[in-house]
Structure 1
């Protein structure tokens, strides 16, 4: 699930104040004389993020052959233990990029046509399935109402559905009970419903749960050992930082939820190292055939820079980056890369109990990419 532009996601998410110190950690093999990126400037920016609202933040920066991690904040609200630099986290809508990759792979194999109606593969699922194409679903030009707008996602009400198991068809039904936002193909609006439909399409075409296809086609080939599709499993496996909200006046650890509420729109778990490897392989053309790689980053004048499960943003300094952001209760994340993949940034931020305006993220972007 997602609520903001990818590049700005961590800068505008409402989080709380947590005053803590940070630690930069060099990866093995990082060159001591390589100083294009000022790591102290990056660390100061992360410390500012923790001071102004994040419970914790971890990032991984790749610059050519050099890579480093940095962190700020704490892993838990009641402990000084730092955020693990190899920690796992809920990636939210970055899940969409994995799902789109699988659909594009199926298109390259001739098993899916991007400009065919969704109704060809999922008859009866959508009232307008004969007018909404696979491409429109992947690019958010379908007009489908965003089902998450119909859910009680504020902290007080979310507690009541936190552990509920949702069937994908239920999520789609929340959307199809509303009229289309616009005629398919005529405009652009981000809608999580699109990727619930995409996940169901993958399941119909492959005959297996969409998570199996993601594992077989992306996770296993790339060796993404910290990445998983949890389904209904509520816990985050392995080392991880905790996210918090305040509900009914009490501090609530929101780390454990039933992620079926997000399904193929945002349920996955990963690490900064795995997301970095995924972005590198995807943009470098190692996961898609040339035609589908070109489709991945194809944008239209009305799609706000959004391709097929990935989006482009031009930073104030003029550098264009590709990637995706993600938000789900407790966690905000982002993966960004220049198109040549020479410079990449992956980050995860956990929420503190009370909302606040996080500052420092734009400074991280400027130092890494500009």
Structure 2
């Protein structure tokens, strides 16, 4: 479980009292997990499938676990390789109407936004407009100051790789306030100031600790260097060239256009769900505000690993990882992480947690991609996270 996931899950236990105002769902609204099997479907884009019959059976079992014993309302797994794509779904997109999860669903991808941001930053490196090992101060003079934080002593590379020691903004936000006021705007500079009111975790370059604060700064650097909002640069440099039709940077837009499952929060183990689909994602900013789909995330990762978005030198920098101390072998590059596959080799991708949705995505250098989504977060279990990663591994290993 990631550090940011622990923060949201821990803080959200405070919100039971505000459930009625936010649309709490009673037991009568929920699927009866002991008597009703979750709806399942398969969608294919062509006659060939990305997995064999045995693999699909294992994947269906994992999706069924996600929407029964793990407690998720609905789940989606999108798979893709050079022959075609397949989408498997289980459970419901809406616990009131019991509408099934659609294969073309859009959802909040949380920290997978970081991979898009890092891609744009590395494009600027390739253009000679940003220097990876230059201090953050060069691009944001005077911004990183206070309580031992100093932009003169940390580099662009370090904020992208979580080795800057910056305090994580996610440790210093109150989830109760966010759930009470989900449509409130959050200014990036204010979020950075909130984080920098606390001391660093370690001296820059001497450790590894996940920090979304670094990606708020990365978004600010992109805007300073290009003169345009970082979201516009992602649109122009990544979304449009790759043809990602369900992907966008929402800014203050609280609704998700197009087909999408409702996004839920569970404030306690057996507490009713809270519908938090409508949310102003500026609270996450460049650290996690984007919306996408399983098919689009897969297409993006394929284009990235095939060198369609970055020059070879910058792609090598992105994939130059360092250990994170995670027992599963997770290593982190620049906005991109690697994990070992049980069938050998590595897969590359990212995970994401945003109120209402948890996502995990991965891709191999050989051309296979898989993205899984469950529409509850926080409130999912450790087993949910483990089963999501298992689904990605199974999909990537024939």
Q: Distance in 1 between matches of 2:47 and 2:261?
A: 25
Alignment match, 1:8: none
Q: Which residue of 2 is the match for residue 114 of structure 1?
A: 132
Matched, 1:46 2:72: no
**Cα 1:367–1:246 shift into 2, 3 Å:** closer
What residue is the counterpart of 2:97 in the other structure?
79
1:210 equivalent in alignment to 2:227: no
Decide whether the 8 Å contact of 1:55 with 1:349 is kept in 2.
Answer: yes
Q: What is the match of residue 232 of structure 1?
A: 252
Higher-helix-fraction structure: 2
Give the 3 Å change call, closer, same or farther, for CA 123–352 of structure 1 in structure 2: closer
The answer as to 2:283 corresponding to 1:258 is no
Q: CA deviation at 1:32?
A: 6.3
Shift of residue 300, structure 1, vs aligned partner: 3.0
Q: CA 1:160/1:117 → structure 2, altered by over 3 Å: closer, same or farther?
A: same
Q: Which residue is equivalent to 2:305? A: 283
**Cα distance, 1:235–1:119 mapped onto 2, change above 3 Å:** same
What's the CA shift string for 1:45-103, capped at 9, x where partnerless?
A: 21111012111111111234132100001011112210111011000000000000000
Deviation at residue 225 of structure 1 after TM alignment: 1.1
Partners of 1:84 and 1:33 in 2: CA distance: 19
The question of 1:29 aligning with 2:46 is answered: yes
Partner of 1:339: 365
Query: Is the alpha carbon distance of 1:320 and 1:276 closer, same or farther for their aligned partners in structure 2, counting shifts above 3 Å?
Result: same
Task: Give the secondary structure class of the aligned counterpart of 1:219.
Answer: helix
Gaps of 5+ in 1: 6-13
Among 138, 150, 164, the alignment partner of 2:160 is 138
Q: Which moved more, 1:249-258 or 1:44-53?
A: 249-258
Residue 208 of structure 2, aligned match among 164, 188, 191: 188
The answer to whether the aligner puts 1:305 opposite 2:297 as a matched pair is no
User: Which one of the candidate residues 350, 356, 364 is aligned to 2:391?
Assistant: 364
* 1:105 aligned residue (116, 123, 130): 123
Instruction: State the SS of the aligned residue for 2:347.
Output: strand
From the superposition, tell whether residues 363 and 122 of structure 1 become closer, same or farther in structure 2 (CA, over 3 Å): closer
Unaligned runs of 5+ residues in structure 2 are 6-12, 14-26
8 A Cα contact 2:104 2:293, kept in partner: yes
Instruction: With the length of structure 2 as denominator, give the TM-score of the two structures.
Output: 0.84
State the TM-score, normalized to the length of structure 1: 0.90
Superposition RMSD in Å: 2.5
Distance 1:352 1:178, change over 3 A: closer
- Number of equivalent positions: 358
Distance in 1 between residues matched to 2:85 and 2:353, nearest whole Å: 25
Higher RCO structure (Cα 8 Å, ≥6 apart): 1
Q: Closer, same or farther in 2 for the Cα pair 1:55/1:72, shift >3 Å? A: same
